[in-house]
Structure 1
Amino acid sequence: NRLPQLILLLGGIYFFMSLLGALLIVQPCEEWYNDIDQNIDNNTIYESWIDILKSKELYLLWISRFALQFFSQVIGGFYKTFGLTFIYDDHFLSMIGTVCSIFNCSGRLFYGYLMDKLSYKVAASIEAIVLTVFTATLYFTSLLGEQTSSQRCMEILKNETHFINSTITETSIDPELCGSLETPLAAKITFAIFIWVLFFTFPGTYAMQPAVCTQTFGQKYGGMAYSLLFTGDILNNLMVGMLSKPLIESTGFLGLFLCTSAWGIVVLIATQFYPKYPSPYKNNTQNMDMTKSSLSS
């Protein structure tokens, strides 16, 4: 009954914040554009957007972006559905989702800072490893609470209704019927930690890729290069939408998470081919010295 009011309240908050953000946007003065033009060296590699399409760095970033979006779509879209298979506490799962927003924000700050202090190559490699390990093992958090939740719930329902040969299945159980069952605390805590780590990690790409595009393609074409990476999101969303349900039905959540974690290996491999100190200039020595000095400071 409170859902319509909640939607109206959230709509009002989003409208106010969007309006405030729109009022704070200003057009940069002409001097700002002139300063950028003066700072652009004629020795740059990229003289037009066509040169960007010819660079291997763009496609390495595109592959990384495309693969990392699987973690964002799958974990963000299915963590609660997976949690309900062994945690019959919707309020607890909602609390996890609320805290996820904090980790979502702080993760961007952390990986942005990590990239500034080390490099995109190192930070992205760390991100890929963490996502691969935690996604591949996420399913095993459900085993901690399996015996006292879903399986036990089916036994109780069958005994109480006297249907020995009942067709009740694990996926057909109403969570409200099993609300009295307590999932072990270890299962809840472990599941929450895994989800928070994942939400802390996969947003890191949204903080690092705009910066690395500017480092690689310069101020003039960095924004255009970053916009081209979003073409992978279209294909990614279609694949997740069409393949996730058949994959869950055939292999369960274990298969879904293992297939998703495999994309982390793709990111790790693609990142190893990316230059540690990218530069838009033909002579990269000066830019490397400036980058190293800024990292050391």
Structure 2
Amino acid sequence: MPLMTPTNKEAETSFWEKAEKSYQTRPARDEKHRENYHPREVVRCRVFWTMWAVMTFTYMGTAIVTNLFKAYGQTFINDDHYLSLVASLSSVFNAAGRPFWGMMADRFGFRIVAVVAQCVLACLVATVFTCEVTDREMFCVWVCAMYLAMCGLLTLIPALVFTLFGPRYFNVNMGLMDSSGIFSSVITGSVAPILKEAFGWHGLFFVAFAVIFIGILLNLSLSINCNEGSIPRHMYTDLSLT
């Protein structure tokens, strides 16, 4: 009698049924090895709020430049078509950089790669004004490099949330982490124009650098908070955070 092979639909249904059954029969967590953290537990963990602050300050410093780079470029580049091309190319680097930072994190660990990405971003933001005395192609390189560095932390945070707090409540926990983007966007949108009028473009970029630098310091302090927090230490050792 010939063997009957399942159809694609049947195979897909069987896969998800097995996955659901495996998920429902996971061993109960205990205090020594807790695999999934409920959002109510996550928001009481100082590690989460440290990560949230890292995201917030990095978002704010980045948004100051990325939201206004075209307006800044118009002060010394009289070509709107070229500036639109720069914006398009920067999106390509933003997308292409994500697998790159992911591979780096797999090899060297979250903390090292995240700090390197933040440091590169901070240096680019602090020196973007040098493009005023160079040709316009250098401005394109600078903006694309900023987007390449910017996506580093955005790529690493979801994997970190998944690993630290578990898969069961990942969507909610990641949503809580992404709420930092709302806060930083509101602050940046309301404060950046005021800072630009008060300090000019160069002063605005210095403020952006300072904000990102605060995020770097918070990231470096994450290992200390991990040791003092409520999440088991072994979870951070596995992530090369200590």
What amino acid sits opposite 1:100 in the alignment?
A: S
Correspondence 1:48 to 2:38: yes
What amino acid sits opposite 1:31 in the alignment?
A: K
What amino acid sits opposite 2:111 in the alignment?
A: K
CA contact (8 A) 1:120 1:208 kept: yes
- 27, 35, 42: which is aligned to 2:22? 35
- 113, 121, 124: which is aligned to 2:114? 124
Distance 2:48 2:83 in 1: 38
Equivalent pairs, count: 221
Distance 1:215 1:99 in 2: 32
Correspondence 1:190 to 2:138: yes
Paired residue secondary structure (2:169): helix
Correspondence 1:92 to 2:82: yes
Q: CA 1:283–1:194 in 2, change beyond 3 Å: closer, same or farther?
A: closer
CA contact (8 A) 1:136 1:258 kept: yes
- 127, 131, 136: which is aligned to 1:137? 127
Distance 2:37 2:153 in 1: 27
Paired residue secondary structure (2:48): helix
Structure 1 unaligned spans of 5+: 1-25, 145-185, 293-297
Render the CA deviation track for 1:102-121: whole Å, top value 9, x for unaligned: 10111111111111111111
1:222 maps to what in 2? Answer: 170
Correspondence 1:242 to 2:190: yes
CA contact (8 A) 1:214 1:223 kept: no
Higher alpha-carbon deviation: 123-132 or 30-39: 30-39
Distance 1:34 1:284 in 2: 28
Paired residue secondary structure (1:137): helix
Render the CA deviation track for 1:134-185: whole Å, top value 9, x for unaligned: 101112221x1xxxxxxxxxxxxxxxxxxxxxxxxxxxxxxxxxxxxxxxxx
Q: CA 1:104–1:281 in 2, change beyond 3 Å: closer, same or farther?
A: same
Distance 1:199 1:283 in 2: 33
What amino acid sits opposite 1:225 in the alignment?
A: N
1:59 maps to what in 2? Answer: 49
* TM-score, normalising length: structure 1: 0.67
* Post-superposition offset of 1:189: 2.3
* Post-superposition offset of 1:46: 5.3
Distance 2:231 2:198 in 1: 50
CA contact (8 A) 1:244 1:256 kept: yes
Correspondence 1:284 to 2:234: yes
CA contact (8 A) 2:37 2:166 kept: no
What is the identity percentage for the equivalent residue pairs of Structure 1 and Structure 2? 20
2:10 maps to what in 1? Answer: none
* Post-superposition offset of 1:38: 4.0
Paired residue secondary structure (2:67): helix
2:59 maps to what in 1? Answer: 69
- Give the greater-gyration-radius structure (CA): 1
CA contact (8 A) 2:93 2:148 kept: yes
Q: CA 1:202–1:68 in 2, change beyond 3 Å: closer, same or farther?
A: same
Structure 2 unaligned spans of 5+: 1-12
- 202, 207, 219: which is aligned to 1:254? 202
What amino acid sits opposite 2:20 in the alignment?
A: Y
Paired residue secondary structure (1:220): coil
